Amino acid sequence: MEKITVCTHSGEFHADDVFAVAILKLVFGDINIVRSRDKTKIAEADIVVDVGEIYDKNENRFDHHQKGGAGYRSNGVPFASTGLVWQEFGFYATKDRFVSDLVDTSLIQMTDACDCGYSGFDYGISKVILNFYPTWQESNDFDGAFKRAVDFASVILCNSIRTAVGGKSANKLIYESLLIADDTILVLDKNFPWYKTVTNEMPEVKIVVYPAIQSSNYVLRTAPVKDASFQSRMLLPADWAGLTGSDLDNVTGVAGGVFCHNGRFVAGHETREGAIELAKLACNIT
């Protein structure tokens, strides 16, 4: 069988697109992975996840960022790309509908919920480690399982240390950054790790503007009520939700808009000045 090409977005990645691609690798084996936002490359791909603004399972398009999203489960959990891909291919990954439903409940829904800002799900690192245990159907090799868990935990630990070091060095620079409009908008010159500083030490800040990773765009992100939370101190205007490009510009009156997430906690603009203008509009500041 010829290798299929799977396209997801370039730049920052999250559990949603990572797990969606992992599912497809499990089902199809060796696949070509393209990370791009280029419309031509998206159109050429056999399967597209988390980019493209289209959900059409018949065309193997699995995005959820379009206006209105991609629907909800019966329990209210919205679908993100991981869930859309699992809904279509989970049975082929497990060869068992009951098992695929269990995995959806224990893992996939959590990934979708986190990506869409839906609270109430906690997979947790403890459960991740417990899943290294051998099952009753496998050999009772707890020593081997422990080694694999330690290898996995070592990667997480090293990444956590590296992230903490970066956070410490960025803290001073965050305080030296521009605060405008009665300190409600924080503008960063670089993509600093700002979450802990803002949530713990800067209670007035409602929106943070910063340059996107691997593009010339700027991001405006509503400040969360606490680190790693999707509950925000404020939300972007409801009529921005799910809009992109000129559709967003027509509503805001600020040319150069890139997108506004359906969850209304993050949006993008082509320029620093435009992102600041959107932030002021969201905060009703003239």
Strands (E), the chain: 5-8, 32-35, 47-49, 55-56, 61-62, 178-180, 185-187, 207-211, 218-222, 257-260, 266-269
What contacts 225, CB < 8 A, 6 or more positions away?
199, 231, 232, 233
Range of weakest confidence among 123-137, 159-173, 177-191, 261-275: 123-137
What contacts 253, CB < 8 A, 6 or more positions away?
none
Residue 65 has pLDDT above 70, yes or no: yes
Q: Return the domain boundaries, the chain.
A: 5-119, 124-176, 178-282
pLDDT digits (tens, 9 = 90+) for 43-59: 999 999 999 999 999 99
Mean pLDDT on 68-94: 94
Residue 28 has pLDDT above 90, yes or no: yes
- Name the most confidently modeled range: 2-16, 21-35, 142-156, 246-260: 246-260
Query: pLDDT-based confidence at 119, cuts 50/70/90?
Result: confident
Mean pLDDT on 112-140: 81
pLDDT score for 282? 96
pLDDT score for 122? 65
Query: pLDDT-based confidence at 4, cuts 50/70/90?
Result: very high
List Cα–Cα distances, 241 to 68, 223, 236, 244, in angstroms. Answer: 8, 17, 8, 9
Q: Which residues pair with 232 in a beta bridge?
A: 224
pLDDT score for 52? 95
Residue 128 has pLDDT above 90, yes or no: no
Contact 263, 239 (CB under 8 A): no
Q: Which structure tokens are listed for 15?
A: 């559990």
pLDDT score for 163? 83
Residue 1 has pLDDT above 70, yes or no: no
Query: pLDDT-based confidence at 126, cuts 50/70/90?
Result: low
Query: pLDDT-based confidence at 244, cuts 50/70/90?
Result: very high
DSSP string over 127-163: HHHHTTSPPTTS---HHHHHHHHHHHHHHHHHHHHHH
Whole-number percent of the chain with pLDDT over 90: 63
Mean pLDDT on 59-81: 94
CA distance 181 to 173: 19
CA distance 227 to 134: 34
Q: Whole-number mean pLDDT of the chain?
A: 91
pTM to 2 decimals? 0.73
Q: Which structure tokens are listed for 150?
A: 């330690």
Contact 179, 170 (CB under 8 A): no
pLDDT digits (tens, 9 = 90+) for 208-223: 999 998 889 999 999 9
User: Cβ–Cβ contacts within 10 Å for residue 44, how many?
Assistant: 13
Residue 103 has pLDDT above 70, yes or no: yes
Residue 196 has pLDDT above 80, yes or no: yes
pLDDT score for 110? 87
Contact 53, 65 (CB under 8 A): yes
